[in-house]
Amino acid sequence: MFWNMAIGIALSSAAATGTEVTIYNQGFGLIKESRQFELKQGRQTVSVEDVASMIEPSSVGIRSLTDPNSFEVLEQNYQFDLINPLAILNKSVGQRIRFIRTIGSQKDVLEGILMSSPTAIVGSADGGSQQTYNGMVIKTDDGRIVLNPTGEVEVKSIPDGLISKPTLLWDLNATKAGSNSVELSYLTQGINWNADYVFTLNGDKDGDLKGWVTVNNQSGATFTDAKMKLLAGDVARVQPPRGRGFGGGAADMAMMKSEAGFAEESLFEYHLYTLQRPASIRNKEIKQLSLLEGKGVKYEKKLVIDALRGFGVYYPNEGQVGIGNIKPLVLVEFVNSKENGLGMPLPQGKVKVYQRDKSGSVQMLGEDQIDHTPKDEKLTLAVGRSFDVVASRKRTNFRRISDRVVEETFEIEVRNRKETPETVYVMERKWGDWEVLSKTMAFDKLDSTTMQFTLKLKAGEVQKVTYTVRTTW
């Protein structure tokens, strides 16, 4: 009797209850669930299926909720050699198989010994059931050697050691028999979450911020009616495993949008967001959940000319850094405070900024990434570059005083081509010991390397800023 590889075998597993999933925004999750075991007294083996295929076996923990002293764990194993055609054939080398191939309108049945297993299994070009076994070698009963045959393979039985689902296996020694409620916990790779925000500007002064959580589950397991928690923060891990599993505090509580949404709490040096209702997270599923909503968030739009932003990598021209034509950055700034319609820690994520046009249609203005942001902190979004406000920057004079002292004169011209007034902030960055010898306009010294000129331009106005600086290093 041969077993045809088209037929599968179903293995049952105990259903989990009370599942809790804590997802970290670093690509892993902590799974906790309850399982009911019917134990006998003495030594025995128990197994749990339906665990994540990307489990970290070294993280698995098991304890009795019924009686902490009711059993002792002697050995723990994680089995992940799953049933699939290639695995079956690899373990069937040296065994008898039957091969059915079609030649024209006739079927040819070969029986013999599998001498070599395939290195790959490739589906047929037309998408049918025929498969090509590359690298297979069969020695038939009549002495023929058949290479790379194409057709259907049958084996006598499933080789030992293959399972249909990833399985955790324990060798336990129970002190008494009976039903035992057990808590199982483990870490798994392949599950992640991130925050996405939409900031819709209502006009020139305020807007509405909507936050979403996107959960991506590629862990290999489905978690049904789970209590979902999201942890935001930079959690240290020591060389977290990559690929496939085994080889491959509740202060400052603040409710979010509704009772069915997320509640936030501080935990150690992180923030934890708990969904206030059960949620199912299916394997190979991307799920979006509402995180927060802020109405009437006051913001400020700023145009910034920063020729040496990032040490001048943005505007190299004519062999000199920061020289040439410059398009001002468009910044949108707002404070994450309760008085401003927000006031809750914001997890890192992308923020898309929109505004309605005269017809009422929403148009995207730009997108930026924010880091984890505590309450009462200012957020600055760089959403694009100005179209109608332009500038140019040039060095008009250079003089070397000594090997370590130079004097330079810079001129920045800003042109407002709008029909409305505009305020433009010109940032100039200096390093070393520097002193401004002359200037055409007052500036604010923001820090040891940055000075800021504020230009208030009328519609169609052009203004110039000129200054001379001496730098010593």
| Tens of pLDDT, residues 227-237 | 999 999 888 88
CB 406 within 8 A of CB 288: no
Query: Residue type at 415?
Result: R
Backbone angles phi, psi at 457, to 5 degrees: -105, 135
Question: What's the sign of the alpha-carbon dihedral 400, 401, 404, 409?
Answer: negative
Q: For residue 367, is pLDDT > 80?
A: yes
pLDDT band at 162, cuts 50/70/90?
low
Q: For residue 9, is pLDDT > 80?
A: no
CB 453 within 8 A of CB 426: yes
Question: What digits encode the pLDDT tens for the residues 274-297?
Answer: 999 999 999 999 999 999 999 999
The strand ranges marked E within 417-461 are 422-429, 433-439, 444-447, 450-457
Backbone angles phi, psi at 183, to 5 degrees: -95, 125
Q: For residue 121, is pLDDT > 60?
A: no
Instruction: Kindly list the distances between the CA atom of residue 428 and the CA atoms of 123, 149, 382, 453, in Å, as whole numbers in the listed order.
Output: 62, 73, 18, 8
347 vs 51: CA distance, rounded Å: 28
Lowest-confidence region among 46-50, 353-357, 458-462:
46-50
43 vs 55: CA distance, rounded Å: 26
Strands 17-24 and 167-174, by their bridges, are unpaired
Q: For residue 433, is pLDDT > 50?
A: yes
Average pLDDT over residues 459-472: 97
Question: What digits encode the pLDDT tens for the residues 192-247?
Answer: 999 999 999 998 889 999 999 999 999 999 999 999 999 998 888 876 454 444 43
237 vs 56: CA distance, rounded Å: 13
Burial of 456 (0-12, 13-18, 19+ CB in 10 A): exposed
Average pLDDT over residues 324-338: 94
Please tell me which residue, 400 or 49, carries the higher pLDDT value.
400
Question: Residue 14: what pLDDT?
Answer: 56
Please tell me which residue, 239 or 396, carries the higher pLDDT value.
396
Mean of per-residue pLDDT scores for the chain: 85
Average pLDDT over residues 434-446: 97
DSSP lists the bridge partners of residue 404 as none
Counted residue by residue, the chain has a size of: 473
Question: Residue 10: what pLDDT?
Answer: 26
For the record, the structure tokens of 143 come out as 């002495």
What residue ranges do the domains of the chain occupy? 1-76+173-293, 85-155, 299-473
Average pLDDT over residues 23-49: 92
pLDDT band at 335, cuts 50/70/90?
very high
Element of type H or E holding 398: strand 389-402
Please tell me which residue, 310 or 388, carries the higher pLDDT value.
388
182 vs 67: CA distance, rounded Å: 9
- Percentage, residues of the chain above pLDDT 70: 85
Lowest-confidence region among 26-35, 45-54, 195-204, 403-412:
45-54
- Percentage, residues of the chain above pLDDT 90: 58
In degrees, to the nearest 5, what angle opens at C-alpha 206 toward C-alphas 343 and 297?
10
Q: 10 Å Cβ neighbour count for 411?
A: 15
Fold topology of 85-155:
SH3 type barrels. (2.30.30)
pLDDT band at 76, cuts 50/70/90?
confident
CB 410 within 8 A of CB 326: no
Question: Residue 200: what pLDDT?
Answer: 96
CB 305 within 8 A of CB 326: yes
51 vs 64: CA distance, rounded Å: 18
358 vs 191: CA distance, rounded Å: 42
Question: Residue 321: what pLDDT?
Answer: 65
pLDDT band at 86, cuts 50/70/90?
confident
Query: Residue type at 69?
Result: N
Q: For residue 318, is pLDDT > 50?
A: no
Please tell me which residue, 356 or 86, carries the higher pLDDT value.
356
Question: What's the sign of the alpha-carbon dihedral 251, 252, 258, 263?
Answer: negative
> Buried (b) or exposed (e) across 175-213, using 16+ Cβ within 10 A?
eeeeebebebebbbbbbbbbbbbbbbbeeeeebbbbbeb
